[in-house]
Amino acid sequence: MVKEPSANDCWPPSGDARREVTLIPVCYAFSASHRLGSRLPLRNLLHLTWNSMKCYSKDSAIACTLFLLGSLIFMPALHAGNDVLGQVDLLGATKVERTSGVWIDGQYVGYLRELKGSKKILLLPGEHEIAVRQGGYVDFVQKITVRGGQTQTIDVRMEKDTRVQFPQITAEIKLEVNPNRAAVFVDGVFVGHVAEFSGMGRALLVAPGKRKVRISLPGYQPFETDIELVANQKSTVKTDLVQGGPAEGTSLHQ
């Protein structure tokens, strides 16, 4: 229950004291609007707020009323925002699809399995292009039309690229990189995300020779290194990506 100030609660503030109490009406109105907004009509809320302002200046009461009106208008708009965007769910039947990288309109957003919950795909209405990539597989590319407030599901199926020849003799690169959802490129080709090549029994197999490894994630500065490898050599790349790179959703250069 919200208790209105009584006449005994009023006093004529002056000087610094007057400046200190000017915030009280706003806080009172905002609190009342949140607690009672779902149960009281607007005129009752305004009456409640105005009566509670009688012991303050006229200007403070007017400011409080305007603030209350603004909060009542703005809060429903926040809930309506979900109806503006459309949701896209990507489904992968096998580990190949679930660990593949996803690009939307040329922008890397993560690997397929993680794009749910707080990382779910929400897009503005209109035409968009979704590309799913995995080393040794043909890119899965599909154009979609997104409608606000609607969810559509896309079944992703990756097919092996018969043009790719895997080396018979390899070298091994193990990655110890944070965050482990970052995209990994070898010689400009996307091969997966860090988590696939870290931990016990996991490593990136490459042909011997000089290899350029690039690790990128929106919101972080990219990491690059050149590694010279001989046959059957094992190497480890350790680094923590530094925050401050391109914002989430910007294009990753391969």
In-domain check, residue 165: no
Q: Which pLDDT band, with edges at 50, 70 and 90, does 179 fall under?
A: very high
Do 77 and 88 reside in the same domain of the chain? no
Q: Give yes or no for residue 140 having a pLDDT over 80.
A: yes
In-domain check, residue 125: yes
Do 75 and 91 reside in the same domain of the chain? no
Q: Which residue has the tokens 């990288």?
A: 101
- Percent of the chain with pLDDT strictly greater than 70: 64
pLDDT at 25: 38
In-domain check, residue 112: yes
3-state secondary structure (DSSP) of residue 103: strand
Do 152 and 203 reside in the same domain of the chain? no
Do 212 and 223 reside in the same domain of the chain? yes
Domain, as residue range, for 32: 7-81
Do 33 and 69 reside in the same domain of the chain? yes
pLDDT at 135: 87
Q: How many domains does the chain have?
A: 3
Q: Which pLDDT band, with edges at 50, 70 and 90, does 240 fall under?
A: very high
pLDDT at 107: 87
Q: Which pLDDT band, with edges at 50, 70 and 90, does 211 fall under?
A: very high
Do 130 and 68 reside in the same domain of the chain? no
In-domain check, residue 96: yes
pLDDT at 69: 52
Q: Of the candidates 160, 194, 217, which is a domain's last residue?
A: 160
Do 195 and 228 reside in the same domain of the chain? yes
Question: Between these two residues, 95 and 20, which has the higher pLDDT value?
Answer: 95
Q: Give yes or no for residue 241 having a pLDDT over 90.
A: yes
Euclidean distance between CA atoms 204 and 160, whole angstroms: 18
- Span 159-182, average pLDDT: 92
In-domain check, residue 1: no
State the average pLDDT for the chain: 76
- Span 15-27, average pLDDT: 40
3-state secondary structure (DSSP) of residue 106: coil
Q: What is the CA radius of gyration of the chain?
A: 29
Closest CA to 214 of 234, 246, 196, 191: 191
In-domain check, residue 250: no
Q: Of the candidates 106, 128, 160, which is a domain's last residue?
A: 160
Can you spell out the DSSP letters for 122-139? EE-SEEEEEEEE-TTEEP
Q: Give yes or no for residue 166 having a pLDDT over 60.
A: yes
Do 216 and 236 reside in the same domain of the chain? yes
Q: Measured on CA atoms in the order 180, 183, 188, 191, is the torsion positive or negative?
A: positive
Q: At 150, list the tokens.
A: 């609607």
Do 75 and 90 reside in the same domain of the chain? no
Question: Between these two residues, 36 and 64, which has the higher pLDDT value?
Answer: 64
| Burial degree of 125 (CB within 10 A; 0-12, 13-18, 19+) | middle
Do 96 and 122 reside in the same domain of the chain? yes
Q: Measured on CA atoms in the order 101, 104, 109, 112, is the torsion positive or negative?
A: negative
Q: Which pLDDT band, with edges at 50, 70 and 90, does 26 fall under?
A: very low
Euclidean distance between CA atoms 146 and 53, whole angstroms: 48
In-domain check, residue 166: no
pLDDT at 167: 85
Q: Of the candidates 160, 185, 205, which is a domain's last residue?
A: 160
Question: Between these two residues, 182 and 167, which has the higher pLDDT value?
Answer: 182
In-domain check, residue 233: yes
The domain spanning residue 176 has which CATH number? 2.60.40.1120
Q: Give yes or no for residue 158 having a pLDDT over 70.
A: yes
Q: Would you say 148 and 125 are in contact if contact means Cβ atoms under 8 Å apart?
A: yes
